[in-house]
């Protein structure tokens, strides 16, 4: 799984997102990917297709107590935590619609929360609204709606893409990846109603294409991934007030660090990486130091 453009959004997570028309071919097994850190920082939910179909798993932040939450032939995707940390949210895409579920972190009491007519991305911080998109991998319309698909609002016009759209911690903003001039992916931010769109990453071509944004707990920074064909993948931290961007754990090796997720203290990030030759969940400090694997 090396040197792939649009790695997490279209290829590496293509299967983990549940399939789509025109998606890239299946990829090698992901032992751990798409991390989501619990509100208290003690656990990480993630996806793995190590046993065939993609399922949701949870592991302690110290790498112990790995637990499998789902066991279905379907491909679960988009793990996230409820604000109180008592439930793990995830979605399943089938027949052009996404079912949204909640489950306890020990795998009990799975409940269907709602269904939306597209590929679901994220629930809002209060759990009342969901982002979803319709279209193809190269032309997407982003919507927000109630969990049952009601009160839908179109946020983008479909002329671009909305890779990895995420609500800000206060629910007032949405960050996402889209094409900028020249067709290069960058990260943008807009109001939750789709207004006031602005580009927030300005990485050089040699640094790769930016996508998969994750908001810091205080909403002042974004962690993003940047990767590209024949380029190593890195996590970057972008200060939204100044535009300053810092590359974490710089390397020239052909491995990919991707799909960041913040810890609630803002001092660490979880991410997926194939540093060992297989995609696993890793954790490092927000300055790029102290990287260590959680799944092995």
- Dump pLDDT digits (tens) for 54-87: 999 999 999 999 999 999 999 999 999 999 999 9
Tell me whether residue 2 is in a domain. no
CA distances (Å), origin 66, targets 2, 46, 47, 154: 26, 10, 12, 39
**pLDDT recorded at residue 114:** 97
Tell me the residue range of the domain where 259 lies.
Answer: 7-293
Res. 7: pLDDT tops 70 = no
Sign of torsion over alpha carbons 21, 27, 31, 37: negative
Q: What is the pLDDT of residues 157-205, one digit of tens each?
A: 999 999 999 999 999 999 999 999 888 999 999 999 999 999 999 999 9
- Segment 223-243 mean pLDDT: 95
User: Is residue 116 in a domain?
Assistant: yes
Which CATH number does the domain housing residue 40 bear?
2.120.10.30
Q: Within a domain: residue 48?
A: yes
Any domain includes 267: yes
Query: Does pTM top 0.75 for this prediction?
Result: yes
Residue pair 34/260 in contact (Cβ under 8 Å)? The answer is no
Does 248 map to a domain?
yes
Q: What is the pLDDT of residues 18-48, one digit of tens each?
A: 333 344 445 667 999 999 999 999 999 999 9
Domain count of the fold of the chain: 1
Going by the DSSP 8-state scheme, the letter that residue 230 receives in this structure is T
In sequence order, what are the residues at sequence separation of 6 or more whose Cβ sits closer than 8 angstroms to the Cβ of residue 25? none
In a domain, 1, yes or no: no
Q: What is the 8-class DSSP label of residue 279? A: B
Round to whole Å and give the CA distance between 194 and 82: 24
Would you say residue 141 lies in a domain?
yes
User: Is residue 4 predicted with pLDDT exceeding 70?
Assistant: no
Please name the residue that has the structure tokens 């983990």. Answer: 16
- Residue 33 contacts residue 273 (beta carbons within 8 Å): no
């Amino acid at each position: 799984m090396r040197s792939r453009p649009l790695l997490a959004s279209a290829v590496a997570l293509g299967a983990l997102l549940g399939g789509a028309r025109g998606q890239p071919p299946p990829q090698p097994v992901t032992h751990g990917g798409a991390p989501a850190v619990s509100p208290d920082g003690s656990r990480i939910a993630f996806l793995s297709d190590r046993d065939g179909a993609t399922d949701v798993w949870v592991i302690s932040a110290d790498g112990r107590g790995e637990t499998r939450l789902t066991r279905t032939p379907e491909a679960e995707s988009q793990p996230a935590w409820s604000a109180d940390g008592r439930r793990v949210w995830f979605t399943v895409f089938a027949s052009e619609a996404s079912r949204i579920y909640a489950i306890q972190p020990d795998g009990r009491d799975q409940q269907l929360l709602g269904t939306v007519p597209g590929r679901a991305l994220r629930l809002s911080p209060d759990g009342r609204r969901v982002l979803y998109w319709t279209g193809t991998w190269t032309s997407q319309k982003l919507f927000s709606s109630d969990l049952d698909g009601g009160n839908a609002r179109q946020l983008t016009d479909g002329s671009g893409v909305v890779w990895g759209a995420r609500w800000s911690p206060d629910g007032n903003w949405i960050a996402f990846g889209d094409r900028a001039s020249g067709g290069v992916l960058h990260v943008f931010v807009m109001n939750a109603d789709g207004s006031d769109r602005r580009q927030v990453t300005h990485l050089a071509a040699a640094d790769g294409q930016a996508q998969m944004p994750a908001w810091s707990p205080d909403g002042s920074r974004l962690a993003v991934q940047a990767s590209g064909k024949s380029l190593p993948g890195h996590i970057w931290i972008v200060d939204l007030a100044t535009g300053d961007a810092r590359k974490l754990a710089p390397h020239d090796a052909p491995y990919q660090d991707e799909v960041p997720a913040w810890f609630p203290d803002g001092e660490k990030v979880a991410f997926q990486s194939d540093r060992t030759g297989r995609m696993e969940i890793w954790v490092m400090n927000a300055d790029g130091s102290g990287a260590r694997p959680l799944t092995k």
